[in-house]
Each structure stands twice: as structure tokens, then as C-alpha cells.
A and B are shown apart, each in its own frame.
Chain A
Amino acid sequence: MTRDGSLSGPLEKYLILAARYFFGGHALISGANHYLEIAPDIMPRSPEIAARFMQVLIDTHLYDLVKGIEILTGLSLLTGLFVPVALVLEMPVTVVILYLSLFIAPTARSLYTGPRELLLNLFLLSAYWGYLKPLACQPRPPLKTLWQALRAERPGGAHS
């Protein structure tokens, strides 16, 4: 780490960028493919409980929501806009994918892709740790409401 807190070298920077672009690209393709149907979907269809779970997600349109989150995450990671928020938003999706991959419908490939999904998400969260630390390291945070912040930002400040 340099004195101004920037990255220590180009290798570290490009490693993080590679992870961001791969994870973002994968999320965007996975999300967009649900709507565009270019490649066959990779949802688990066996055992029966996995197929039932996926069918309920589809019937309740929760699957559309998940794929929407993946598209937003992908766009965010590829453009570099709001990356820490996108990584936090993607984490529940990652956990479900990991759980399905390891415990509900394990295959040789899912045993590789499930942990990879988690590792990439955690690695990128750690790369943006400085932005997440205020959220994660305050056990009893005082209230800081949106409306207080909006009032304080108005001309004249909070006392007007």
C-alpha cells in the first residue's frame, strides 16, 4: 500500500479488475440469458427437491427478481459504478447458489462453480473493504436516518 492509500502495484490492481470483470460478466450473462434465452439455462433439475425449488422460484417470479439482481450486479461491476453496494446485493444470491451447489444438487461442476462464486464475491468485498468497514465494524451504531441527512443537506442545515 502506498502512502496515499492507493494500491501497491499494477499486479494487485489488475488482479482485482480481472475478478471484477469475470464475476460481473458472468452475472450479466446469467441474468440476461434468462430473458433473452441465448444459451440453455443452467438451473439444477435433479434431484427432485432441487427441481421443485426452482419451479417454485419460477412460478412465484422470484427467479425473475434474482436474474434482475444479477443483471444490475453485472452492469455495476463492469462499469465500476456502485460496486460495493452491488457486491452486498449479490451476496444472498451467491449464498443460495453455493447451498444448492454443495448440498442440494451437487455435481462435479457445481462443486467447482459454487465455491468459486462465493470466493469471487468475498474477494471483491475484501477489495472494497474500506467502504464496508463502517457497516460491519459498528456493533451498536447510533441512528443516522435518511430524513436527518436530507434535512442537514438543505440550505441552512439542520437548524432551519
Chain B
Amino acid sequence: MLWKILYSPYDAGAFLIMVIALAAHALADWARSRRRGPDGQVDR
């Protein structure tokens, strides 16, 4: 019963999009933080 209330194909698709987009965002944040030195400046 609870599953029928919570689940729909739209929700499943939206959840999948959310997970992928969040992972991409987190990866981009991580890559940006790695390029910064200890003083917060971007390494060249």
C-alpha cells in the first residue's frame, strides 16, 4: 500500500536524475577543491 503511494515512474525518473546530477555536482566540487592550494588559490 505504502509502495503504491510513494512510487510512480515519474518519481523514479526524477529520483534517478537527482542522483546523477548530484553526483556530477559533487564530482565537479571535488575537482575544483583539488585544484586549489592550501591558501585557497587555484593552482596554475
A residues engaging B (CB < 8 A)?
A: 10, 14, 17-18, 21-26, 28-30, 33, 39, 42, 78, 108-109, 112-113
Given A108-B4, A112-B5, check contact A17 B10 (CB 8 Å).
no
Q: How large is the interface on B (under 10, 10 to 19, 20 to 34, 35 or more residues)?
A: 10 to 19
Beyond A25-B16, A28-B17, A29-B10, list 20 extra A-B contacts (CB 8 Å). A14-B26, A17-B21, A18-B18, A21-B17, A21-B18, A22-B17, A23-B14, A25-B14, A25-B15, A26-B10, A26-B11, A26-B13, A26-B14, A29-B13, A29-B14, A29-B17, A108-B4, A109-B4, A112-B5, A113-B8
* B30 CB, nearest partner CB in chain A, Å: 11
B interface vs A, CB < 8 Å? Answer: 1, 4-6, 8-11, 13-18, 21-22, 25-26, 29
